Amino acid sequence: MAAIKRYFRSPAAVAGLILLAIVIAMAISASFLYPRDPLALAGRPLLWPLANPRFPLGTDNSGRDIAAQIFYGARISLLIGGVATAIAILIGILVGAVAGFYGGWIDNVLMRITEAFQTLPNFLLLLVLVAVFGSTLTTVTIAVGVVSWPAPARLTRAEFLSLRNREFVQAGRILGMRDLQLIFSEILPNALPPVIVYASVVMAVAILLESALAFLHLSDPNVASWGNLIGLGRDVLRVQWYVSAIPGIAILITVLAVSLVGQGLNDALNPRLKRR
Amino acid sequence: MSGTAAILSIEGLSVRLPAGADRSHALKDVSLSVAADEILCIVGESGSGKSMLANAIMRLLPNEVTIDGGRMIFEASDLGAASEAEMRKHRGADIAMIFQEPMTALNPLRTIGDQIAEVFSVHTDLSRAEITGRVLALLADVRIPDPNAAAKAYPHELSGGQRQRAVIAMALALDPKLLIADEPTTALDVTTQAQILKLIRELQQRRRTAVLFITHDFGVVAEIADRVVVMQQGRIVEQGPAAEVLDHPQAPYTRQLIAAVPPLDAPPARKLSQDHILTISNVSKTYRTGGFLGRRARVTRAVNDVSLTLPRGATLGIVGESGSGKSTLARCLVRLIDPDQGSIMLLGKDFVTMPRGKLREETRHIQMVFQDPFASLNPRHKAVELVAQGPIIHGTPRARAIAEAKELFALVGLDPSAADRFPHEFSGGQRQRIGLARALALKPAVLVADEPVSALDVSVQAQVLELLADLRARLGLSIVFITHDLRVAAQICDLVAVMKDGVIVEQGLAGETFANPQHPYTRALLASVPGGAFARHHATEPA
């Protein structure tokens, strides 16, 4: 396919894909490399990296292996990033498609709701949701998804607005298509590329949101996540800064990888825009 | 040609396209000259390189496109070798250009007067008052009614024709020696086109400016050209004085192009059925805008009390200019737009009052072909799926619908083995055939064709019209044919209705209406057809 070829022509996009592959490999290999519970006590607390060959990245303030937590944390970050993004994009596409396709008062109502969500600071809303529904992994993931849908919704709506009066949609209507078929089989495939590209932004933000929650000790404490580790390191930040810095770098690399892939996708799907 | 010296002479110009384009050179070995005091028409179909030539002269080529041979001598200097700074001095002052779409050539946020004044303030040291005087004189020169008001107007407040006049005024501001006009009338209505052509001719004679006029329309050539250059695939196939090229074309390609121009005379009338398949009575559609917080509401009667009948097997042409309501009427017929009142009786059922659910079933009896061959096909579906879609929706099993779609491909003159390709792999004419096959797949009683050939090159246009006539004869189709082009209407329609401002001003048999128009507007339309005399007399020659 031409789009795939174009993707691999960009070094930044390929680098992003490699980084992402590394993070995914870490997530997959976690249970082979570290069969023990990553949250179990492993050795002396606050060992510096490379001080003990058993703990290449050192241990945290409770004596747990940081390397193991980084590997298992990749799972959590990818899980939250992936599922929350799927939720956000799904809600966004549904709301945006219906609003853009029908227009009129339906559009008005849906867009006012979307704006209400958008004007509230994301993180504040997330805090409220977590405070109300508790901070298990499931609720955190859903909550991150639920606060991230307005932007994809607006994007989908804009695409639908420009596509809904195209002649091929009118042709479908004259052939006797129902609205659902017009929305999902005629318009949506044409509206999707920018939304898919935007999904990478949503994913990066979702990973950051979870880490921010964990930093405030508000994420699920029973899983090994990068955010939890940063939150833990907060107490010893001035001396044993590596406890926070190592998971911080992991987050940085993952978010960078996701956005490079997103940018690469964008250039591959819209080749004309790039040349200008 | 008046024998004056050439102001621009191009010798062996070649322009290279980037790798991966459909040919290596946009222009290959092009030699021509424009004399001061003449209008040279460059005519060719899309992809012939005619616009590329204009851009090459202005040195406004896209980044990867390069001049790789030849010279362009303008007043003893070679434009091909000129530096960017030298070119900036030539552009606007010595060589000016006007484009097809006047709206995009103007800045929507500034007034017309302001934009013309800018030309003077950039290139001259005139005082403010002098500039204002010059601007008004120019606007008067291009015959804009009320130059004072026009100078204060924003582009969207003027009509298309007035905008093009403003653009011409801007181009002529510095008395250029050469004016390049790239399809300047293509986006305009015929009556406006006729006025703009007259204006360009008049200005050219008064100011003695050389004009390089690019067009695809031989009618326009007949109207305006002193000399003609015919281009095909980046090469010049023929050039000479206008009368000679039009009346005695030498190159086979030129002959083919001229033969494809639809003549204005209608072919002999066919016998029409007494049985009316479609009856439109008193249909109206009114749009209301504004009327909020003291702003005055604007009421547009897009379709106003229109009544028409279509005999079985006949073709009814609805002709009119943009804004006449002809497209709104077409969309009312297929209920893409709900009419406010009136009735549309098809096969004994009234389409206007039909509820949505019932309409989805009945719509198979009346299908539509659209204008834009690129926008009317969903780029994400294969051609065969597009054609089979309709029957599948109406209950035909998928396998059978696909098989029938392939048969339709052959019927509309496409290779059935190309059925699995995506729309972007077809040319404009082929796409229009796919659109036609899609409409025919439901075996409709009536076909509504909304400007089906307007976006096509004239040779392709002739082929598609031929196909329509052939299908009409074979399948007994009844067609409502919407067009702005009277020449096309004359070719295919049995009956015509002329629309203006939402009202049918005249209707009747095509031959009679064109030969003996009753309404002044119809007469004005006929008189505006570019190269009217040419269109009539070339029709009498054997094709």
Question: How far apart, in Å, are the Cα atoms of B118 and each of A134, B69, B131, B169, B174?
Answer: 65, 36, 9, 12, 11
| Residues of chain B positioned with their CB less than 8 A from the CB of A171 | 368, 370, 376-377, 435, 438
Instruction: List, in sequence order, the alpha helices (H) in B364-502.
Output: 383-393, 398-411, 428-440, 458-475, 486-492
Distance CA B40, CA B237 (A): 15
Tell me the pLDDT tens digit for each residue of A209-222.
988 888 888 888 88
Bridge partners of residue A55, in order along the sequence: A52
Q: What is the pLDDT of residue B543?
A: 38
Instruction: Choose among A174, A177, A178: nearest Cβ to B336.
Output: A174
List phi, psi (to 5°) of B153.
Answer: -85, 155
Q: What is the pLDDT of residue B392?
A: 93
Q: What is the pLDDT of residue B2?
A: 44
The answer on pLDDT for A91 being more than 90 is yes
Contact: B376, A171; criterion CB under 8 Å? yes
Contact: B390, A176; criterion CB under 8 Å? yes
Write the CB contacts of B271 (distance below 8 Å, at least 6 apart in sequence): none
Distance (Å) from the C-alpha of residue A104 to the closest C-alpha of chain B? 15
Distance CA B259, CA B44 (A): 14
Bridge partners of residue B11, in order along the sequence: B71
Tell me the pLDDT tens digit for each residue of B15-40.
988 877 778 888 989 999 998 889 99
Distance CA A237, CA B442 (A): 73
| Residues of chain B positioned with their CB less than 8 A from the CB of A168 | 375-378
Q: What is the pLDDT of residue B290?
A: 61
Question: How far apart, in Å, are the Cα atoms of A41 and each of A8, A66, A137?
Answer: 44, 11, 22
| Residues of chain B positioned with their CB less than 8 A from the CB of A166 | 375-376
Contact: B370, A170; criterion CB under 8 Å? yes
By the CB < 8 Å criterion, does A173 face chain B? yes
Distance CA B169, CA B118 (A): 12
Contact: B363, A175; criterion CB under 8 Å? yes
Chain A from 189 to 208: CB within 8 A of any B CB: 189-190
Tell me the pLDDT tens digit for each residue of A92-144.
999 999 999 998 899 999 999 999 988 888 888 899 998 899 888 899 899 99
| Residues of chain B positioned with their CB less than 8 A from the CB of A173 | 336
Instruction: Choose among A166, A170, A175: nearest Cβ to B393.
Output: A175
Question: How far apart, in Å, are the Cα atoms of B413 and each of A25, B407, B424, B458, B470?
Answer: 54, 10, 18, 18, 11
Q: Tokens 């998971």: give the residue.
A: A247
Write the CB contacts of A208 (distance below 8 Å, at least 6 apart in sequence): A251, A255
Query: Percentage of chain A with pLDDT > 70?
Result: 97
Please count the other Cβ atoms lying within 10 Å of the Cβ belonging to residue B299: 11
Beta strands per DSSP E along B169-297? 178-182, 210-215, 227-232, 235-241, 276-289
Q: Please state the pTM of the whole predicted model.
A: 0.82
Q: A interface mutation test: which of B333, B378, B425, B436 has the most A CBs within 10 A? A: B378
| Average pLDDT of the segment spanning B139-166 | 87
Two structure tokens written together for A68: 């193991």
Positive or negative, the Cα torsion across B273, B274, B280, B282? positive
| Average pLDDT of the segment spanning A223-236 | 85
Predicted complex ipTM: 0.79
| Residues of chain B positioned with their CB less than 8 A from the CB of A178 | 360
* Residue B119 and residue B169 in contact, taking contact as beta carbons nearer than 8 Å: no
Instruction: Choose among A167, A181, A189: nearest Cβ to B376.
Output: A167
Q: What average pLDDT does the structure give for chain A?
A: 87
Contact: B370, A167; criterion CB under 8 Å? yes
- Collapse the DSSP code of B34 into the 3-class scheme (helix H, G, I; strand E, B; otherwise coil) and give the result: strand
| Residues of chain A positioned with their CB less than 8 A from the CB of B361 | 176
| Residues of chain B positioned with their CB less than 8 A from the CB of A189 | 378, 380
| Residues of chain A positioned with their CB less than 8 A from the CB of B363 | 174-176
By the CB < 8 Å criterion, does B435 face chain A? yes
Distance CA B73, CA B11 (A): 8
DSSP-derived letter for residue A51 is S
CA angle (B466 as vertex; B485, B500 as ends), nearest 5: 20
Strand order in the sheet with B227-232: B95-98, B178-182, B210-215, B39-43, B227-232, B235-241
Contact: B375, A172; criterion CB under 8 Å? no
By the CB < 8 Å criterion, does A177 face chain B? yes
Instruction: List, in sequence order, the alpha helices (H) in chain A.
Output: 2-9, 11-33, 66-102, 104-119, 122-133, 137-147, 150-163, 167-175, 179-181, 188-215, 226-233, 242-269, 271-275
Contact: A170, B368; criterion CB under 8 Å? yes
Tell me the pLDDT tens digit for each residue of B331-380.
999 999 899 999 999 988 898 888 988 898 889 999 999 988 888 999 88
Two structure tokens written together for B3: 């024998």
Contact: A174, B393; criterion CB under 8 Å? no
* Residue B535 and residue B219 in contact, taking contact as beta carbons nearer than 8 Å: yes
pLDDT tier at A231 (50, 70, 90 boundaries)? confident
Tell me the pLDDT tens digit for each residue of B431-462.
999 999 999 999 999 999 998 888 888 888 88
Residues in chain B: 543
By the CB < 8 Å criterion, does A104 face chain B? no
The packing angle between helices A137-147 and A122-133, to 10°, is 150
| Residues of chain B positioned with their CB less than 8 A from the CB of A181 | 393
Tell me the pLDDT tens digit for each residue of B38-55.
999 999 888 888 888 988
Contact: A190, B378; criterion CB under 8 Å? yes
Instruction: Choose among B367, B372, B379: nearest Cβ to A174.
Output: B367
The answer on pLDDT for A207 being more than 80 is yes
Q: DSSP for A65-129?
A: BHHHHHHHHHHHHHHHHHHHHHHHHHHHHHHHHHHHHH-HHHHHHHHHHHHHHHHS-HHHHHHHH
Tell me the pLDDT tens digit for each residue of A32-67.
888 888 887 777 777 787 777 778 888 888 888 888
Tell me the pLDDT tens digit for each residue of B198-218.
889 988 888 888 999 999 888
Question: How far apart, in Å, are the Cα atoms of B285 and each of A22, B360, B488?
Answer: 62, 21, 27
Q: What is the pLDDT of residue B159?
A: 82
Q: What is the pLDDT of residue B538?
A: 61
By the CB < 8 Å criterion, does B18 face chain A? no
Tell me the pLDDT tens digit for each residue of A137-174.
899 899 999 999 999 999 999 999 999 988 999 999 99
Contact: A171, B394; criterion CB under 8 Å? no
Distance (Å) from the C-alpha of residue B321 to the closest C-alpha of chain A? 20
| Residues of chain A positioned with their CB less than 8 A from the CB of B390 | 175-176
Contact: A178, B360; criterion CB under 8 Å? yes
Q: B interface mutation test: which of A175, A183, A187 has the most B CBs within 10 A? A: A175
